[in-house]
Structure formats: structure tokens, C-alpha cells
A and B are shown apart, each in its own frame.
Chain A
Amino acid sequence: MTWALVFEQLLNGLQYGVMLFLMAAGLTLVLGIMNLVNLAHGALYMVGAYLAVAGTQWTGSYLAGVALGFAGTLLVGMALEVITMRPLYGRDHLDQVLVTFGLILFFNELVAIIWGRGSLYTSLPSWLQGHIDLFTGSRYPVYRMVVLAVGLAVAVLLWYVVTRTRLGMLIRAGAANRTMVAALGVNIRLLYTVVFGFGAALAGLAGLMAGPIYAVQPGMGELILIQVFVVIVIGGIGSIRGALVGAIIVGVVDTLGRAFLRPVLATAISATAADAAGPALASMLIYLLMAVVLALKPAGLFQSR
């Protein structure tokens, strides 16, 4: 276990963290502003990944695939909001959970019908393949660096939109007092559709970027969705800053745990015991972290309300 390897895994963790952030940002906004639990957020991630693969195959252009993935999820998200979410705003969380659970079954099966149950793999264009040299002397894939950069750029952009623009002002006002904002003449329904749509598009962006790294398959959204829940619980509902911090923490802890828990344990206990306990403990690490955070701060690290 060299420091170069640790650094590389740290980068992997950061890259996974920004991907979690793209998911968490949309979900936490929808939760904070509309008080809506949306399990189908993971399905939108999957839709983004599939549309990008399909777009790349149809047009032969990777960028066209990316555009389709992003725009497609934006549209699917807005349609979803209008058709299924609007009846749910006044309902309790239980109904919201069940309806969006039904939507997941639907979307998972739909992509299985269209693209089959097997995994799809995508090839990257040549300018995204290859590696760059790190200062530690090892080499790191360009694509993962790009994912990291895009994620951070979106974080900055989101910060700008929410704190510095009129739309962001409305979003913050809507989160604070929905009725008051509506009484002041703002079309709150349209605002909801826009926020939901862009949250969906961010999930789609995460999905289409995940495609070339992980397998594109039905149900791919659920694994990440539950980790995103952990992110939001740690960060605090409705807080974008909390989502960013929580996502980075979860991404890094999960990645480092999977990479190094087994060798570290092997130095303390026997190798066979470490082989058995390492992966088991690594898969539980972020949930234990969540339990600790909750015990200390039941409303998350950055409570927004």
C-alpha cells in the first residue's frame, strides 16, 4: 500500500463523491422545497445513462449522446412532475414513497423491454481515453478527471444560481414559505416543474457520466439512490452545501473502505479473517458513519430548517 495508490483511490473517491453530489443536489432540493420524497430519482439516473448510450449508437457521436441524455432526462423529469408528482404534493410521505416506488418498477421494466436485461457498455471517444500523469508518478484515467471537473463545475454553478440569481431567490423563498411566494404572484407550479426537471437532468448527467465507468443495466439507479439517501441524511435535508460535503465524505469513505479495509485488517487479524470481514465491513461503513452522525446531529451536519 503506497501513498501513490492511496492518492489514486482518494481521487476515485472524490470522483464518486461528485457523482453522488449531482444526484443528491436534485433530490435534496425537491425534498427541501416541495417536501416530496422521490425514490424515482434513481430511475432518472438510469434513464440518463440509457439515453446517452442510445444517442451515441444512433448518431455515432458521443457528444450527441450526452446531449440526448441530459435533455431527455430533463423532459422526462418535467413530464413526470406534471403527470405523477402534482397529485402528491398534498399527500403524506408514505403515499409519495409508494407512488415513486411504483414508478421505479415501471422504469426498470421499461428499459429492460427496450434494451434488454443485460449490461450495456459504451466506448469513449479517443479524446477522453488515455491517462494523465499524476505528480505521484502514477497515471490516472482522463475520463475520471473530466467527471470530477464537471461535478465540481456543476457545484459552483448551482451555488451561483441559488445564491445570486432571481431563480435561486425564488427557490429559496419557495423553500421557506410556499404560500407566501404564491401570494406574491409567483407561478409556484411552474417553479416546481422547473426545479424538478433540473434535478432530474442533474441525475441524468450523473447517470450518463457513470455509463462508461459502471455497467448500464436495469436497476442501476437503486444502488446509488440509497447511498444518496445516506448523503442527504448526513448533510441535512434541503441543504446543497450539506449535499456537497456529505457526498464527498460518503464517496471517499466508501471508496477507501472498499480498497483498503481488507489489507489494513490483515495487519491486525489473520489474513483469512480479514478476507471474510473486510468486504462485509466495507459495505457497511457508510451506514455506520450515518448512524454516528445521526447520534450526534439528528438533523444532519448542515440543517437548513
Chain B
Amino acid sequence: MKRGALFWIVVTVALTVLPPIAGALGQPFYIDLVRRMMILAIAATSLNFILGYGGMVSFGHAAYLGLGAYSVGILGFYGITSGWLQWPVAIGASALVALAIGAVSIRTSGVYFIMITLAFAQMLYYLGISLEVFGGDDGMRLRSRSQFSGLIDLGDAVSFYYLCLVLMLVIIFATHRMVNSRFGMVIRAAKSNEARSRAIGFSPYRYRLTAFVIAGAICGLAGALYANHTNYITPGLASWVQSGDLMFMVILGGMASAAGPMLGAFVLLIAEEILKGWTEHWQVILGPLLVLSVIFFKRGLAGIFHA
């Protein structure tokens, strides 16, 4: 527990001092990179909630990333740029779609669940491509970033960075609390032994569906952040490669651990940046690395830090 607390203090301090240091070194690129890492860490944390603790292998989690981003984009397209409205819509829309997808897919399990969540996410991806009004395959530029009545300017790289940092830490903490609440116990119990949790009087379906919706909603928020981060949205955000990336972040970092998804997101994105620096064909190296890490590196990064 003490090591865990130390770990989080180090992470918080390091991430807090990064922008001034990057600014002093004249490397604003790193502020941008780490901000992206933190946004995807939020998405990965939401996936870990259902995947790591709930045992629901959702291969379509990027759908909510796309939904959140498109909520911001589409509202902006029609001139509604207030973040006070955009972000709740992003969260609400993702939660609603998660409710619909979850209601169908949680009735199944195992391979079916994986294939169905993937198929529904892909459906939304193709829907995004076929919406010519909103740029279709090419996506569209945001008219403006979300406005928060002058409270915070998302156009300012550093303030947006700190907003992402705070949100990430809050969401990781809240998820941690949820996992250790009565609700979280039921979710984990249903994962480890469904028959037994039924026998003591819990119907896992409702609990699982609730967790699925919560995870979708959090990921929708990450999508809203991502749209503001890139200032540009494409259907690619909801693609299955993005879903696979999120899943890999969770596994690499360590399933069912508070810090795992964040560590996974950071390491995967850093590895991508390094490989991109080496060669245009970085995926030919990343692919086998992924294979090897899954086969040989079972415990994940969080196991090293005991966090």
C-alpha cells in the first residue's frame, strides 16, 4: 500500500512538472504527446473496468471514443460550441449506445461477446464513413474547441494539459473506488464465478450492464477530450484498430489494476513514437512486439510497480 501511494505521488509530480520543463526546453511537442497519452489512459481505464474487473472482453470500446468525439463535432457543426452542453451530450450519447449494445451482447459470453461488440463498433464506424454531411471517410475539422464560458481555454495547450491530468487522476481514483464498492464486488464476483454469484442471489446481468454503461460513458468523455485534442475528428477513431490498441494498453499495463491502463497507454504510445522515428513501417515491428509481450509478459507493467 505504501509503495502504491509513493507510485502515485511520483506519477502526479512528474506529470505536473512536465509542461514547464518541456516549455523551458522548447519542446512543446511533449506536452501534446503526453496529453494524448492521458486522454487514451482515461479510455483504457474505462475499458479496464469492464475487461479487467468484469471479465467482459469488449472489442468495440473505441466506438464510444468515436461517439464522444462526434458528439462534440456534430454539435459544433450546428453552431453549439458550449462545452457545458457538448460534453454531457458526449457522455450521455455514449452511455445510451452502450446500453443498447450491452443489452444485446451481455446476454452472450466468450467468443460471441468479443465478436458482437466488435461488429457493433464496426457498424458505427461504417455509419461514420457513410455520413457525407460530416465529412464521411475524411472526417471534419472542429469549428472551434469546446467553450467553457471563459473558465478554461482549451486552445491553450498547457491549461488543456492540466485539465486532462486532473480528469485522468479523478477517473482512475473513482474507478478504483467503484471497483472496491459493493457494486464492484458483485462485478468481480460474477467474473470469477458466475454460478456461485447467482447462487447467493445476484443476477449478474443488471450489474454487468450497469458497468458496461459506466465504462461507455467514461470513454465518451475521453472521446470529447480527444476531439478537442486533435481539433479534428475522423471515423478512424472508432475503428477496430483503435479498439485493439485500447485492449492492448490494458493488457500491457496489467489487467484489473488501477495504474495498469495508464502505464499501458503511456508505454504503447512512447513505443509507437520511437518506432515511427525509426521507420515508416513501424507496424511491422510493433505487431510482433505485441505478440511477444502477450505470450511472455503475462503480469503486465503494474506488476512491476505493485501499483
Q: Which of B119, B248, B289, B294 has the most CB of A within 10 A?
A: B294
Q: Does A103 contact B (CB under 8 A)?
A: yes
Chain A contacts for B294, CB-based, 8 A: 95, 98-99, 102
Q: Does A63 contact B (CB under 8 A)?
A: no
The stretch of A153-161, A166-174, A239-247, A287-295 that contacts the partner chain: A287-295
Given A93-B114, A97-B59, A276-B132, A87 and B283 touching (CB < 8 A)? no
Q: Does A230 contact B (CB under 8 A)?
A: yes
Q: Does B277 contact A (CB under 8 A)?
A: no
Q: Which of A95, A291, A299 has the most CB of B within 10 A?
A: A291
Q: How far is the CA of A112 from the CA of B240 in the complex (A)?
A: 19
Q: How distant is A283 from chain B, measured CB to nearest CB, in Å?
A: 4
A229 touches B290 (CB 8 A): no
Chain A contacts for B170, CB-based, 8 A: none
Given A233-B119, A237-B111, A298-B108, A102 and B126 touching (CB < 8 A)? no
Chain B contacts for A87, CB-based, 8 A: 295
Interface size class of B (residues with CB under 8 A): 35 or more
Interface residues of B (CB under 8 A from A): 51, 57, 59, 104-105, 107-108, 110-112, 114-116, 118-120, 122-123, 126-127, 129-133, 240-241, 244, 247-248, 251, 281-284, 286-291, 294-295
Q: How far is the CA of A88 from the CA of B298 in the complex (A)?
A: 13
Interface SS of chain A: helix
Interface residues of A, count at CB 8 A: 44
A280 touches B127 (CB 8 A): yes
Q: Does A37 contact B (CB under 8 A)?
A: yes
Q: How distant is B110 from chain A, measured CB to nearest CB, in Å?
A: 6
A294 touches B130 (CB 8 A): no
Interface residues of A (CB under 8 A from B): 31, 37, 84, 87-88, 93-95, 97-99, 101-110, 112-113, 222, 226, 229-230, 232-233, 237, 276, 279-280, 282-284, 287-288, 290-291, 294-295, 298-299
Chain B contacts for A222, CB-based, 8 A: 240
Given A93-B57, A103-B291, A109-B287, A230 and B108 touching (CB < 8 A)? no
A226 touches B240 (CB 8 A): yes
Chain B contacts for A284, CB-based, 8 A: 123, 126-127
A233 touches B287 (CB 8 A): no
Q: How distant is B44 from chain A, measured CB to nearest CB, in Å?
A: 14
Q: How far is the CA of A108 from the CA of B111 in the complex (A)?
A: 24
A102 touches B281 (CB 8 A): no
